[in-house]
């Protein structure tokens, strides 16, 4: 029966753990727990590898000019071979090189979106949660409206009106993602503002904004980082999806979603056009999800306590 | 507060939110320069008089606030404007395309929930064992796969390679001609079932399979993860231990005691997943040539058919908000503590 | 490690008024339990002996981490399986060894014949089911009855714990009740199928002092009216003093002293018990408050012999290597201590009054080589909290 392996040991166990663990030990323990998750480690390796490939694409790619966009119509639609490990596309470009150069896009965009969301959402959430009252109400109503909307639809509409381009995609994604983080930070700020050290700072006359900056926001960083790592995968998927549908990257950008879309009409004869790009998206997103999961497993129990 | 007060409050919030959304999309469509008259007039060059006439016809010459006010009033009375592309009332267009999307979304959500909850609960119960590991791997794969890519892969495997399933439309042409389906709900599978049109039913069902799978993968994965996590919390809780100590059999602890507690977070996520499915249809419909709202929306967006875009936006938001409201109400019914706040 | 020779022998006359020391209902013999943890193996129980007779309330007293909760969990088979292992011993319930029973057999016993209530009644009750539903469920699990009969049994159980068997109560949810009511609900659930034995793990710790009294009185009533034998696990000596017929003092995985409550508290023999009683703050000024220097041993690398020897004022060579076996120092009063064994014979030699002479038995704080009193802090508050104190431990 499985219940007897699921129930916790209760007081006996908990007491002992409380007595025998210190802060540093716990951090080292957390790191060890993270690395014990083999899949998470694999994910981390994939992310690092992608980063390296993205940075050094000009040196690593077998056909760097083609990776950037030069076409070679003589070599169109070649099946994977020794010369072209992943074959060539409808413009004769080496697919592998394009994939390598294309690695830059998800990484850059996720970084930009992350930064944007952090800069906008976190402070707003902190302010709303800290001050409460009408400030909170206003921010809450605004986020309500944004959140009442499926993010991708909103992003699609935005990009449609702004014009299709990767920059606009990034902008649209920042606009649609920040409310989540504002909400998250706001929730935490509400409980944090009652903490003794905050009240102490207030009585000492520390300005509100300094309190928010020094005491409230840093303490929200943990869950925010975890949420961010988990969300990067979703951001990458959205960018690819928007490009697939024609609202993101434009040819000849080697964006993976766009490559899947371009390869669609040749899918029967030249399967390699779409397939490798699709697998690349899948691989990177999977890696981020695995790492995010492990991070959450590691940090969450501590956060709960 | 009572259930009634809760509902009233939520409905008020709903109205506020919809107005807000309409305001946002309305102002975006006006602030960003794009010339709707071009679409209205069709291709080719136009004289300034023609353009001015078009502008007046479209009401573009009035102050923005007034335009918005008129728009809201029209909306409420059922006039959602006229599509610049099809020249038909937007509401009619939307209602025409909606059922096909509903059919797809409903079948995907049902599949996702049934699969996700059962596997998630089982994985939590057998934590650390084979079911758990395989389930988690499958779930995380489902969540990481781009749905459009999955759709393409499914098409290749099941249509091109195995010749098992069809890949476009809701009904094969020959079946639609030989055994036409009466339009009751607009959902072909449902209509065929109701009218006992078995040939069409079977054909429509086959057409539904692949799009549903492609759409459901992400939701199934998320549901599984959420269920597993919520069930673990419940199974490791003190009340589960108490029940165990009182001799309550495992299947009651898992199936009743834990599950009811786990349902709240799971239902919340289902609301979100509905939104995801809504969005997903945009891509899936394109790939499977499914005549739904997604196809209509995508074409409208690419053509800058702003009345249509507004209409789709509002209905998507409306659907999303209503589903979330229903989810919240169910949660309030399940967990008596919610009413306290 | 020898077994207690005379554990099964019933006394001819009850040691304390009201206790019906009949046949033994529960006998824990030489129970050893280990936990696997990341830092090593925790030897939580080191050969625990305990006997509970019919209609008897036995108090299991000790500080946090001494193993009293682990002992309680072992009886009900609640130890977390992969980490916890019973390495030796027997738990005899009416003659049958519970440790050899299959999960299925145990499920038939738990809640029906042996029950447990826990420290936090709010957490122990399922928040999304009503009180009536939860108790009825337990009844239906153990007895093949229809809903109506189960409802009747539920009402009876509620009445037995002093709660009104009204519809309002049956339909209420745990969070709508007060702490005391919730604990009564848990107890009603525990006795709903007529259990012969109840293990109560710190049932009053999470409650207000006034409610504590009520719950303790309830325990006594359950014993009087329903004949339920009980193990009352608590770190509060005062609570045990008021309710228990017999008291067993635990330290670091062993029962170091056991006997009739009044006897053990008035004439403690084991150095730990002596020190514990010494630390009770009654009638002392702040300056006179005592602590036990030193700290509880690390259960991953515990001493081979007596686990208290490092803090004991009467430590001998033999204490370091050999775990003492229990010896009877007075009628039905047992202690596991080499020093007691050595100097045993006349209990009067070591007898003490209400406080005076015992000072010599506790190491003088001034010259003590032990660490600062702060390290011994855990011992102090738990031990010294009799009913008159208004401080929660």
pLDDT tens digit sequence for B325-340 = 888 788 877 777 765 5
Chain C positions touching B243 (Cβ under 8 A) are 126
**b/e for B264-297, b at 16 or more Cβ within 10 A?**
bbbbbbbbbbbbbbbbbbbbbbbbbebbbbbbbb
Q: Which secondary structure element, helix H or strand E, spans residue C247, and what is its range?
A: strand C246-251
- Nearest alpha carbon to residue A233 among A291, A160, A289: A289
Find chain C residues with C-beta within 8 A of B335's C-beta.
127-128
The verdict on residue A291 lying in a domain is no
**pLDDT, greater one: C99 or B322:** C99
Does residue C85 lie in a domain region?
Answer: no
Evaluate if residue A24 carries a pLDDT over 60. Answer: no
Angle at which helix B198-235 crosses helix B90-125, to 10 degrees, equals 50
User: What is the average pLDDT value for chain A, to the nearest integer?
Assistant: 81
Report how many domains make up chain C. Answer: 2
Output A168 or A33, whichever has higher pLDDT: A168
Q: C181 and C286 share a domain?
A: no
C363 in a structural domain: yes
- Return the higher-pLDDT residue of C290 and C76: C76
User: What does A66-105 look like in DSSP terms, one character per residue?
Assistant: HHHT---GGGTTPPS-SSSTT-B-TTS-BHHHHHHHHTHH
Of the pLDDT bands very low, low, confident and very high (cuts 50, 70, 90), residue C20 is very low
Which of A258-267, B66-75, B272-281, C147-156 ranks highest by mean pLDDT? Answer: C147-156
Interface test with A, best of B301, B310, B314, B319 (most A CBs within 10 A): B301
pLDDT value at residue C21: 55
Answer yes or no: is C341 within a domain: yes
pLDDT at residue C382, as a whole number: 39
- pLDDT tens figures, A56-115: 888 888 887 777 777 777 777 778 887 788 888 888 888 888 899 899 999 999 999 999
> Are C172 and C276 within one domain?
no
Taking CA atoms, C79 is separated from A77, B305, C230, C314, in Å, by 64, 66, 20, 35
C282 is in which domain, residue-wise?
Answer: 272-392
Which 67-86 residues of chain C touch chain B by CB within 8 A?
A: 76, 78
* C-beta separation of B332 from B338 below 8 A: yes
Q: How far apart are CA A267 and CA C78, in angstroms?
A: 59
Q: C321 lies in a domain?
A: yes
User: 3-state secondary structure string, chain B?
Assistant: CCHHHHHHHHHHHHHHHHHHHHHHHHHHHHHCCCCHHHHHHCCCCCCHHHHHHHHHHCCCCCCHHHHHHHHHHHHHCCCCCECCCCCCEHHHHHHHHHHHHHHHHHHHHHHHHHHHHHHHHHHHHCCCCHHHHHHHHHHHHHHHCCHHHHHHHHHHHHHHHCCCCCCCCCCCHHHHHHCCCCCCCCCHHHHHHHCCCHHHHHHHHHHHHHHHHHHHHHHHHHHHHHHHHHHHHHHCCHHHHHHHHCCCCHHHHHHHHHHHHHHHHHHHHHHHHHHHHHHHHHHHHHHHCCCCHHHHHHHHHHHCCHHHHHHHHHHHHHHHHHHHHHHHHHHHHHCCCHHHC
Q: Is C157 domain-assigned?
A: yes
Q: Domain boundary at C142, C160, C190, which?
A: C190
User: Which residues in chain C have their CB less than 8 angstroms from residue B247's CB?
Assistant: 106-112, 138, 141-142
Enter the tokens of residue C18. Answer: 């009201």
- pLDDT attached to residue C1: 34
Higher pLDDT residue, C202 or C13? C202
Cβ(C7)–Cβ(C51) below 8 Å: yes
Please determine, for residue C136, whether its predicted confidence score (pLDDT) is greater than 90: yes
Residue C253 included in any domain: no
Question: Containing H/E element for C52?
Answer: strand C40-53
Scanning the structure block, which residue is given the tokens 């999304």? C128
CA distance B258 to C328: 49
The CA distance from B94 to B296, in Å, is: 8
My answer on whether omega of the bond before A252 falls inside 30° of 0, hence cis, is yes
Residue C297 lies in a domain: yes
CB-based contact C141 B248, cutoff 8 Å: yes
Tokens of C230: 């009980």
Neighbours of C114 (CB within 10 A): 26
Half-sphere CA count of C241, side-chain side, radius 13 A? 16
* Dist CA A138 CA A129 (whole Å): 11
Give the least confident one: B91-95, C175-179, C354-358. Answer: C354-358
Which residue, C190, C212, C234, sits at the end of a domain?
Answer: C190
pLDDT band at A168 (very low <50, low <70, confident <90, very high): confident
C91 located within any domain: no
CATH of the domain at A226: 1.10.3720.10
**Residues facing C27 on adjacent strands:** C51, C92
Regarding predicted confidence, which is higher, C7 or B241?
B241
The B residues from 230 to 289 touching C (CB cutoff 8 Å) are 237-239, 241-249, 252, 257, 260-261
pLDDT band (50, 70, 90) for residue B59: low
A80 assigned to some structural domain: no
Rg (CA), chain B: 24
Q: How far is CA B61 from the centre of its chain?
A: 36
In a domain, A53, yes or no: no
**CB-CB contact of C125 with C134 (8 Å):** yes
C202 touching chain A per CB within 8 A: yes
From chain C, the residues in CB contact with A7 under 8 A are: 78, 80
For A270-284, the pLDDT digits (tens) are 888 889 999 999 999
Q: Residue C259 pairs with which residues in a beta bridge?
A: C247
Do C186 and C277 reside in the same domain of the chain?
A: no
Tokens of C339: 């020093």
Which positions in chain A touch C78 (Cβ < 8 Å)? 4, 7, 10
Examine residue A74 and state whether it is found in any structural domain, yes or no.
Answer: no
Q: What is the pLDDT of residue B31?
A: 62
Closest by alpha carbon to B169, among B199, B195, B111, B208? Answer: B208
- Domain, as residue range, for A169: 109-250
The answer as to whether A199 is a domain residue is yes
Q: What are phi and psi for residue A254, nearest 5 degrees?
A: -85, 50
Candidate from C76, C124, C138 with C-beta closest to B248: C138
Task: For A277, name the nearest residue in chain B, comparing CA atoms only.
Answer: B149
Mean pLDDT of chain B: 82
Domain end, chosen from C139, C155, C190, is at C190
Phi then psi dihedrals of residue C57, to 5 deg: -110, 115
What is the mean predicted confidence (pLDDT) over B181-188? 78
Nearest residue to A97 via CA among A78, A70, A134, A127 = A70
User: How many domains would you assign to chain A?
Assistant: 1
Distance in angstroms (rounded) separating the CA atoms of residues B181 and A175? 44
Nearest CB to B321: which of A148, A237, A286? A148
Most confident option among B123-137, B181-195, B304-318, C123-137: C123-137
Helical residues (DSSP H) of chain C, grouped into ranges: 68-76, 103-109, 121-124, 131-142, 147-160, 167-170, 179-191, 209-226, 237-243, 261-266, 271-279, 317-321, 338-343, 347-350, 373-376, 379-383
Measured CA to CA in angstroms, residue C384 lies from A171, B40, C275 at distances of 65, 88, 11
d(CA B10, CA B139): 33
Confirm if C248 and C58 have CB atoms less than 8 A apart: yes
Give CA–CA dist A133/A127, Å, rounded.
11
- What is the residue whose two structure tokens read 């469509």? B29
pLDDT at C393 over 50: no
- Number of Cβ within 10 Å of residue A34's Cβ equals 17
Q: Which residue has the higher pLDDT, B111 or B331?
A: B111
Question: Could you count the other beta carbons within 10 Å of the beta carbon of residue A68?
Answer: 17
Distance (Å, whole) CA C392 – CA A39: 47
- Decide if C89 contacts C50 (C-beta within 8 A): no
Calpha distance C58→C55 (Å, rounded): 10
Instruction: Provide the shortest C-alpha distance from residue A130 to chain C (in Å).
Output: 29
Nearest 5°: phi and psi at C139?
A: -60, -45
Count of positions (residues) in chain B? 341
Token couple for C20? 């019906």
User: For position B181, what pLDDT does the model report?
Assistant: 76
pLDDT above 70 for B53: yes
pLDDT at C303 over 50: yes
DSSP C355: S
Q: Do B247 and C109 touch (CB under 8 A)?
A: yes
Question: Are C279 and C381 in the same domain?
Answer: yes
Interface predicted TM-score of the whole assembly (ipTM), two decimals: 0.81
Q: Please, is A36 exposed, middle or buried when counting C-beta atoms within 10 Å of its C-beta (0-12, 13-18, 19+)?
A: exposed
Give the residue with greater pLDDT, C78 vs A28: C78
pLDDT at C210: 87
Residue C358 has pLDDT above 50, yes or no: no
Helix, strand or coil for residue C43? strand
Contacts of C108 in chain B (CB under 8 A): 247
Most confident of A139-143, A237-241, A294-298, B128-132: A237-241
Residue B129 pLDDT > 60, yes or no?
yes
The confidence band for C130, taking pLDDT boundaries of 50, 70 and 90, is: very high
pLDDT at position C6 over 90 = no
In tens, the pLDDT along C68-115 reads 999 999 999 998 888 888 999 999 998 899 999 988 999 999 989 999
Does C199 reach chain A within 8 Å, measured CB to CB? no
In this predicted structure, the answer to whether residue C32 has a pLDDT above a threshold of 60 is yes
| A94 located within any domain | no
**What average pLDDT does this structure show over A153-158?**
78
């Amino acid at each position: 029966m499985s219940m007897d392996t699921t129930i916790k040991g209760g007081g006996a166990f908990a007491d002992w753990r409380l007595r025998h663990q210190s802060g540093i030990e716990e951090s080292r323990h957390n790191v060890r727990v993270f690395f014990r998750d083999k899949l998470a480690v694999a994910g981390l390796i994939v992310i690092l590898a992608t980063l390296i490939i993205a940075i050094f694409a000009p040196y690593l790619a077998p056909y760097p000019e083609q990776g950037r966009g030069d076409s070679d119509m003589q070599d169109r639609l070649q099946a994977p071979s020794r010369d072209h490990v992943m074959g060539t596309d409808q413009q004769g470009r080496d697919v592998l090189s394009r994939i390598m150069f294309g690695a830059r896009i998800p990484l850059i965009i996720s970084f930009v979106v992350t930064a944007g969301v952090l800069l906008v959402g976190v402070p707003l959430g902190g302010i709303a949660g800290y001050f409460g009252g009408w400030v909170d109400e206003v921010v809450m109503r605004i986020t309500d409206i944004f959140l009442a909307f499926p993010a991708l639809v909103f992003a699609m509409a935005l990009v449609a009106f702004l014009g299709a381009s990767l920059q606009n995609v990034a902008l649209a994604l920042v606009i649609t993602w920040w409310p989540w983080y504002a909400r998250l930070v706001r929730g935490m700020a509400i409980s944090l503002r009652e903490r003794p050290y905050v009240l102490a700072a207030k009585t000492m006359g520390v300005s509100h904004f300094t309190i928010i900056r020094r005491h409230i926001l840093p303490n929200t960083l943990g869950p925010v980082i975890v949420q961010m790592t988990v969300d990067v995968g979703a951001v990458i998927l959205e960018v690819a999806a928007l490009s697939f549908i024609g609202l993101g990257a434009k040819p000849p950008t080697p964006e993976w979603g766009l490559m899947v879309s371009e390869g669609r009409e040749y899918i029967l004869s030249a399967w390699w056009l779409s397939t490798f790009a699709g697998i690349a998206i899948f691989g990177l997103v999977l890696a981020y999800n695995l790492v995010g999961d492990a991070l959450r497993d590691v940090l969450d129990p501590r956060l709960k306590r | 507060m009572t259930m009634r007060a809760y509902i009233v409050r939520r409905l008020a919030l709903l109205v506020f939110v919809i107005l807000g959304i309409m305001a946002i999309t309305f102002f975006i469509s006006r602030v960003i320069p794009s010339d709707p008259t071009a679409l209205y007039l069709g291709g080719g060059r136009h004289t300034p008089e023609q353009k001015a006439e078009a502008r007046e016809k479209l009401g573009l010459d009035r102050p923005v606030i007034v335009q918005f006010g008129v728009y809201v009033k029209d909306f409420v009375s059922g006039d959602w404007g006229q599509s610049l592309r099809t020249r038909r009332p937007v509401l009619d267009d939307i209602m025409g395309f909606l059922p096909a999307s509903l059919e797809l979304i409903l079948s995907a959500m049902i599949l996702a929930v049934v699969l996700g909850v059962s596997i998630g609960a089982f994985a939590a119960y057998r934590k650390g064992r084979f079911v758990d590991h395989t389930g988690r791997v499958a779930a995380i794969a489902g969540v990481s796969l781009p749905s459009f890519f999955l759709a393409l892969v499914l098409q290749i495997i099941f249509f091109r390679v195995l010749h098992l399933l069809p890949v476009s439309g809701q009904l094969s042409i020959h079946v639609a001609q030989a055994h036409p389906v009466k339009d009751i709900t607009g959902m072909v599978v449902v209509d065929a079932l109701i009218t006992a049109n078995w040939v069409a039913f079977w054909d429509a069902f086959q057409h539904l399979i692949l799009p549903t799978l492609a759409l459901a993968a992400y939701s199934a994965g998320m549901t599984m993860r959420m269920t597993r996590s919520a069930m673990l919390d419940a199974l490791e809780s003190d009340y589960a231990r108490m029940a165990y100590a009182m001799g309550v059999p495992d299947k009651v602890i898992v199936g009743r005691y834990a599950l009811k507690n786990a349902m709240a977070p799971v239902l919340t996520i289902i609301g979100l997943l509905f939104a995801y499915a809504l969005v997903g249809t945009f891509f899936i419909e394109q790939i499977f040539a499914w005549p739904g709202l997604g196809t209509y929306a995508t074409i409208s967006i690419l053509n800058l058919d702003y009345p249509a875009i507004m209409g789709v936006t509002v209905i998507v938001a409306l659907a999303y908000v209503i589903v979330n409201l229903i989810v919240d109400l169910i949660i309030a019914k399940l967990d008596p503590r919610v009413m306290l706040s | 490690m020898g077994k207690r020779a005379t554990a099964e022998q019933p006394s001819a006359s009850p040691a304390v008024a009201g206790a019906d020391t009949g046949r033994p209902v529960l006998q824990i013999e030489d129970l050893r339990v280990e936990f696997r943890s990341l830092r090593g193996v925790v030897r939580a129980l080191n050969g625990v002996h305990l006997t509970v007779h019919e209609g008897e309330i036995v108090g299991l007293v000790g500080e946090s981490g001494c193993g009293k909760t682990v002992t309680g969990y072992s009886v009900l088979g609640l130890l977390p399986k992969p980490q916890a292992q019973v390495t030796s011993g027997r738990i005899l319930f009416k003659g049958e060894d519970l440790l050899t029973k299959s999960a299925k057999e145990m499920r038939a016993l738990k809640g029906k014949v042996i029950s447990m209530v826990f420290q936090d009644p709010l957490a122990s009750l399922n928040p999304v089911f009503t009180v009536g539903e939860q108790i009825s469920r337990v009844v239906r699990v153990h007895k093949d009855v229809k809903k109506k009969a189960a409802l009747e049994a539920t009402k009876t159980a509620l009445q037995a714990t002093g709660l009104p068997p009204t519809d309002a109560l049956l339909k209420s949810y745990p969070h709508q009740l007060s702490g005391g009511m919730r604990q009564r609900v848990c107890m009603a659930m525990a006795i709903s199928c007529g259990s012969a034995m109840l293990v109560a793990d710190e049932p009053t710790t999470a409650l207000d002092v006034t409610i504590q009294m009520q719950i303790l009185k309830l325990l006594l009533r359950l014993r009087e009216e329903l004949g339920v034998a009980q193990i009352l696990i608590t770190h509060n000596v005062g609570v045990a003093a008021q309710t228990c017929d017999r008291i067993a003092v635990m330290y670091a995985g062993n029962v170091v002293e056991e006997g009739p409550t009044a006897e053990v508290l008035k004439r403690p023999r084991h150095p730990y018990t002596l020190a514990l009683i010494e630390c009770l703050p009654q009638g002392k000024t702040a300056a006179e408050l005592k602590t036990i220097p030193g700290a509880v041993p690390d259960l991953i690398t515990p001493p081979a012999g007596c686990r208290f020897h490092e803090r004991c004022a009467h430590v001998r060579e033999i204490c370091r290597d050999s775990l003492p076996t229990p010896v009877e120092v007075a009628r039905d009063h047992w202690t596991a201590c080499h020093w007691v064994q050595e100097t045993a014979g006349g209990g009067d030699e070591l007898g003490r009054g209400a406080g005076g002479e015992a000072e010599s038995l506790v190491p003088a704080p001034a010259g003590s080589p032990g660490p600062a009193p702060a390290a011994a802090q855990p011992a102090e508050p738990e031990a010294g909290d009799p009913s008159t104190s208004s401080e929660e431990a």
